[in-house]
Amino acid sequence: MDDIGRLAMREEGEFWVAYYAQTGTMEGAIMLGTIRMRFVQDESHKTAFLGLMREAMGDMLKEIVGERPIWNPPAPAPEHERTREA
């Protein structure tokens, strides 16, 4: 399967936010879900939420392109995409 986007996770204030985004940009990203940061401080909760967002994105892509994604290992966001707190 060609590169059809990525799951982008961003910390935005007190929330961890999951987006479906095209590779290399957040322009036009689709928000999939959010959870308060305090709930994902526990690694098992963080893993569960990430898994749920992967499944949601996989379901969406299956409907659109007929295939589920093959997940690469998580990678840090490019510097220009990183959330900056004021």
32: how many CB neighbours lie within 10 A of its CB?
Answer: 19
- Complete edge-to-edge strand list for the sheet that includes strand 6-12: 6-12, 15-21, 30-36
pTM flag (> 0.75):
yes
Q: Which tens digits make up the pLDDT trace of 40-86?
A: 999 999 999 999 999 999 998 899 888 888 887 877 777 777 665 54
Who contacts 74 (Cβ-Cβ below 8 Å, separation ≥6)? none
Domain count, the chain: 1
27 vs 4, residue with greater confidence: 27
Our separate counts of H helices and E strands in the chain read 1, 3
Domain assignment of residue 78, yes or no: no
At residue 85, the pLDDT reads 54
| Domain region containing 33 | 6-69
Domain assignment of residue 81, yes or no: no
Domain assignment of residue 54, yes or no: yes
Domain assignment of residue 31, yes or no: yes
Quick one: pLDDT band at residue 5, thresholds 50, 70, 90? confident
Domain assignment of residue 25, yes or no: yes
At residue 30, the pLDDT reads 93
